[in-house]
Amino acid sequence: MEHLWAGWRSAYVQGADVQAGHDERPAIEVDDGQTLFEAILYSGYPDRDTLILWRGERVFAMLNAFPYTSGHLMVLPMRAVEQLTELDDTEHAELWHGVRLATRAVEAAYAPQGINIGANLGRGAGAGIPDHLHVHVLPRWNGDTNFMTAIANTRVMPESLSSTWERLHAAWPNT
C-alpha cells in the first residue's frame, strides 16, 4: 500500500495560504534486543518529533507513521510483549484505559462517523511489527475508501503527521 501525502490539502481546503511540506522526524536507531517502539519511546527526542501523544505509567499512545486515515494512532505497553496474555493486570487495565482516552481524542479532533479499534496479534494476523503489541484506533467516515485505495493500492493523506499530532495532542483528555 502506497501513501500519497497531500498534507497541504487540509490547509488549502480550509482556506489557508500554505506551501506543501514534508514532516521531518529524527532517525531512530534500534539497538539489538530492542523493538522499534521501545527505541522511539526511549529515544530522548521530544514527543512531537517521535509522534508520541500520551505517556501513562506503563502504556503510551503514538501516531501511526503509515496511517490508514488521518488520526490513526496506536496505544501500546511500554514493555514489549507480543500477546495480550503476556500483559500483567496493571498493564492490561492501563492499555484499555489508553484506548478509551484515544477514542475520546479521535472523536473530539475528527468527529468521525465511526472508529476502528483493533490489534493484529502475530504476523499471521497481519501485524507489521509483531514483537510489540499495539492497539490501533482510527477514525472512519462513510465512503472513506475510494478508487485510489481500491484500484491503485494507494491512500491519499490530506493532513501531515505534524498537523495530526497537533490536533490529537490538543484533543487528548486530561487524566
Name the residue among 82, 80, 91, 1 with its Cα closest to residue 40: 80
Of the residues 72, 92, 97, 134, only one is catalytic, namely 134
State phi, psi for 139 to the nearest 5 degrees.
-75, 150
72 is catalytic: no
Q: Cα–Cα distance between 70 and 85 in angstroms, integer?
A: 30
Name the residue among 40, 42, 66, 64 with its Cα closest to residue 137: 64
Please provide the distance, in angstroms rounded to a whole number, between the alpha carbons at the two ends of the chain: 36
Residues classed as catalytic: 134
